Amino acid sequence: EAGVTQFPSHSVIEKGQTVTLRCDPISGHDNLYWYRRVMGKEIKFLLHFVKESKQDESGMPNNRFLAERTGGTYSTLKVQPAELEDSGVYFCASSLDRTLSYEQYFGPGTRLTVT
Backbone angles phi, psi at 70, to 5 degrees: -70, 125
Q: Which of 94, 93, 91, 85 is nearest to 113 (CA)?
A: 85
Taking CB under 8 A as the rule, does residue 7 contact another protein?
Answer: no
| One of 13, 20, 44, 72 touching another protein (CB under 8 A) | 44
Dihedral sign computed on CA atoms, order 79, 98, 29, 10: positive
CA 2 – CA 94 distance, rounded (Å): 12
Among 21, 69, 109, 114, binds another protein (CB under 8 A): 109
Near another protein by CB under 8 A, which window of 11-19, 69-77, 78-86, 99-107? Answer: 99-107
Q: Which residues bind another protein (CB under 8 A)?
A: 3-4, 9, 31, 33, 35, 37, 40-45, 48, 56, 59, 91, 95, 98-100, 103-109
